[in-house]
Structure 1
Amino acid sequence: MAIVIQSEKACTVNPLKTSQPLGASFAAMGLEACMPVLHGSQGCTSFALVLLTRHFKEAIPLQTTAMDEISAVLGGYDNVETALLNIRKREAPRIIVVCSTGLTETNGEDLDGHLRAIRKGNPELFNTEIVYVSTPDYVGAFEDGYSKAVVEIVMELVEPLPAIYRQISVLPGSHLSPRDVEELRVIVQSFGLDPIILPDISGSLDGHFDSEWRGVTRGGTTLEQIRAAGASSFTIGIGEQTRAGARALQEICGTPFEIFERLTGLEPNDRLLRLLAQLSGRAIPEKYRRQREQLLDAMLDSHFYTGGIKVAIGADPDMLLSVGSLLHELGAELSVCVSTTPSPAHALLPASEVVLGDLEDMERAAGNCDVLITHSHGRQMAARLGKPLMRVGFPVFDRVGNAHRCQIGYRGTMDLIFEIANLMLERIQFRAPKD
């Protein structure tokens, strides 16, 4: 069990974490015909928009209430009303997810009350679902905002229905890529089960080449699917951040659930397949037995390059646990672990301690490490230390293909192992004396 240590610095020097409103907006991206709205200044939204666009290399629908100095003092009711009416008129979304920011949380606005009054006074909004998520960006991190958004979507839109035996709800964590979510869907469907994935970024952020611009999200979980989640016979969550959403479904619909702390590695995927076999009454398909053998062989081939290495990782809790646990199983030592926010996932990490801090904390402690693992903002640190950098998490803006990177299941785990081993092999070859 890792000891969690809070960095005591007076300020953040090189940020590791991203904000709650950004995480909540990311969750909204997984809903069909949805428009996320940040209730705050234009700068807050622009920053989030830039990060999402650079990471996915896609056009991202994201709007703002455009708070200024006057509305920050007098209140933003008019800004919210104008934004919702304009969005409804121009884009006609089926769902609008409104996320607060530090600005509006600090001045104490009753945004929930604003939304009720706006709905009452504007009948044209009656056919649009509006979900409010409280996400002050001066506390918490990306995972927290994502988790809160999923809970609010469930609480606002899901109602109890008669259970459908072969239907299950799947709650993917924010650390999963669109390709990860698609792989998860394929695994569940291979047992004859019908998954409702909430939210489903595999249909909205997986890459589109549209001839016409759409101002709302394309693909993702539909409003009908969200409501139908009330009929699911079981819920599977990936990552500790999904536990709150699974509990919300249980409270509303009585749906039992199981949380998988990760799906990167051998044991958790074994456990997932056994659960799916139990839920479906079917045997595990032969293709997964073959993939398991290939993963075992990959672990054997790669441990020569990963065994004994010292690793420094900076990531959100569930990503930290996924990659860190796999490296530990491959014989690596987790020498430096830096995370963004408190989480039960830290207690499961095979390391001595986790620092809640920034990339400067990571850089100061990583001098003796063999490899650095974090997002793209760690590239300058890697250059200064002369260490190889493996990019994981969000944002990764200096590489392409983030939406199609798979790190879960037997196949995804194998790909991740090869990526790590090849990085270390390249470092060994780089250090070798030339003939």
Structure 2
Amino acid sequence: MATVTAANKSVAVNPLKQSQPLGAALAFLGLKGVMPLFHGSQGCTAFAKVMLVRHFREAIPLSTTAMTEVTTILGGEDNIEQAILTLVEKSKPEIIGLLTTGLTETRGDDMEGILRSIRKRHPELYDLPIVFASTPDFKGALQDGFATAVESIVKEIPQPGETRLDQINILASSAFTAGDVQEIKEIVSAFGLKAIVVPDLSASLDGHLDDSYSAVTGGGTTLAELRQMGSSVFTLALGESVRGAAESLQQRFGIPYEIFPQLTGLDAVDDFLQGLVDISGNTVPAKYRHQRRQLQDAMLDTHFYFGRKRVSLALEPDLLWSIVWFLQSMGAEVQAAVTTTKSPLLEQLPVESVTIGDLEDFERLAVGSDLVIANSHGKAIARRLETSFYRLGFPIFDRLGNGQRCTVGYRGTMQLLFDIGNLFLEAEEDKTKH
């Protein structure tokens, strides 16, 4: 049992966490034809846009209700209405993802009531799904906002229908990249199953050129697929944070679900494939049996470099859980674990303590580590501590290829093993040289 401590400081120094609205926007961007709409000032949206563009190196559609000092005091209903009507006219979105910011949450706008009255005044909006997510950025972190948006999507759009025995829902938490989702989809389809993935970043933020310019997302989970979710035979929830969305689907449509908190590491992938065997009735394809043997060989080749190495991590809870268990399975020791927000997983981590804090706390705890794992903001810390650095999480703005990066499944686990193993190998070579 890990002891969870929250840093008792008046201010975050060198912040680690990203805001809830940013997480919700990222989740909405996994839907096709979507326009995320920030209900707040222009600065909130501009900041999120910069972060997303730097990480993915893609054009990111985001919009804002552009609240000013006056509208914040008098109420933002007119701004929301005007923003929605302008988007419908100019961008023609298939879905609008409406999310709040610290400014409007502090003011306490009745968003549900505002949306009802806007729809009453504008019957032409009847067929347009406007999915609302409450995401105050003065609490929680990226993972919370992402999970809230996923839960809002599955509450708002899916419709009941006749059960399709070959169709399953996959809810992917913020721990999974576009490359991860692509690998998961390929694994599921190899079992003869059709997966509706929410959100499907692999079709929108995987880094591809579209045939024509679009003001909204060109790929992702379609509105038709979202509506069909109620007909699925099973839900696979990937990451503890999307449990609420899986429970919502179970309550509304009676769809059973299973949580897979990680898909990195031999045991975790074995469990996932066994789950697919149980649902589909098919055996594991030869391709994955071979990949499993490759991973076993990779573990044999690399475990000499991982054994007794001290690793410090600063990641969102779902991703922290996955990587900590993976490192432990390879014989590494977790020296420090710092995260951004509360999660029921934290107390079950196989470490002495977990700190909910910032990068200042992380730097203090990581002294003497052989490896530091964090987003790009951890680079300066690794340099000051004179240790190896592996970039993981969000944002990564000083490396290319974040859209295709994959650390799940047998193949992704192997790549992660080699990437981190090579860092340890380099460090040993440098030590020998000196």
Q: TM-score, normalised by structure 2?
A: 0.99
Q: Deviation at 1:194?
A: 0.9
**Residue of structure 1 equivalent to 2:159:** 159
Per the alignment, in what secondary structure is the counterpart of residue 221 of structure 2? coil
What is the RMSD computed on CA atoms of the aligned residues? 1.0
Per-residue CA deviations over 1:350-390 (Å, capped at 9, x if unaligned) read 11111000010000111111110000011111121111110
- Count of residue correspondences: 434
1:89 is matched with which residue? Answer: 89
Structure 2: 5+ residue stretches without partners: none
CA distance in 1 between counterparts of 2:243 and 2:340 reads 18
* Mapped partners of 1:317, 1:22: distance in 2: 16
Query: Secondary structure, in 3 states, of the residue corresponding to 2:196?
Result: strand
- Please give the residue correspondences for 1:149-228 in structure 2 after superposition, counting only pairs within 5 Å: 149-210=149-210, 212-228=212-228
User: 1:433: how far off?
Assistant: 2.7
Greater mean alpha carbon deviation, residues 352-361 or residues 338-347: 338-347
Structure-to-structure mapping, 1:195-344, within 5 angstroms: 195-210=195-210, 212-344=212-344
2:374 aligned with 1:371 = no
The offset of 1:211, in angstroms, is 5.3
3-state secondary structure, aligned to 1:344: coil
Cα deviation, 1:16-53, whole Å, max 9, x if unaligned, reads 11011111111100101000011001000000000000
* 1:16/1:357 contact within 8 Å kept: yes
2:391 maps to 391
Matched residue, 1:53: 53
CA distance in 2, matches of 1:218, 1:53: 16
Superposition pairs of residues 105-184 of structure 1, within 5 angstroms: 105-184=105-184
Q: Distance in 1 between matches of 2:207 and 2:420?
A: 26
Q: How far apart, CA to CA, are the structure 2 residues paired with 1:54 and 1:287?
A: 35
Q: Return closer, same or farther for 1:279/1:210 CA change in 2, 3 Å cut-off.
A: closer
Report the CA distance between 1:123 and its aligned residue: 2.3
Q: Supply the AA of the counterpart residue of 1:334.
A: V
Structure 1 CA distance for aligned equivalents of residues 295 and 15 of structure 2: 35
AA matched with 1:346: L
Deviation at 1:321, TM superposition (A): 0.9
In 2: Cα distance, 1:60 partner to 1:92 partner: 16
CA deviations 1:320-366 (Å, max 9, x no partner) are 01111111111111110000111122133211111000010000111
C-alpha contact (below 8 Å) 1:24/1:149 kept by paired residues: yes
Is the CA contact (8 Å cut-off) linking 2:368 and 2:385 kept in structure 1? no
What amino acid is aligned across from residue 303 of structure 1 in structure 2? H
Secondary structure of 1:224's partner?
helix
TM-score, normalising length: structure 1: 0.98
Tell me, yes or no, if the aligned pair for 1:94 and 1:127 is still in contact at 8 Å: no
2:17–2:142 Cα contact (<8 Å) kept: yes
Question: What secondary structure is seen at the aligned counterpart in 2 of 1:231?
Answer: strand
Residue identity matched to 1:161: G
Identical amino acids, percent of aligned pairs: 50
Deviation digits for residues 75-114 of structure 1 (CA, Å, limit 9, x no counterpart): 1111111110100000110100100000000011112211
Q: Partner amino acid for 1:149?
A: A
Structure 1 Cα separation of the partners of residues 143 and 367 of structure 2:
28
For the residues of structure 2 that align with 1:3 and 1:34, how far apart are their CA atoms? 41
**Displacement after TM superposition at 1:160 (Å):** 2.1
The secondary structure found in structure 2 opposite 1:21 is helix
How far apart in 1 are the matches of 2:86 and 2:222? 22
CA distance in 1, matches of 2:414, 2:355: 28
Q: Report the alpha carbon displacement of residue 268 of structure 1 after superposing the two structures with TM.
A: 1.2
CA contact (8 A) 2:49 2:62 kept: yes
Question: Residue 20 of structure 2 contacts residue 145 of structure 2 at CA under 8 Å; is this kept in 1?
Answer: yes
Whichever residue aligns with residue 30 of structure 2, its letter is G
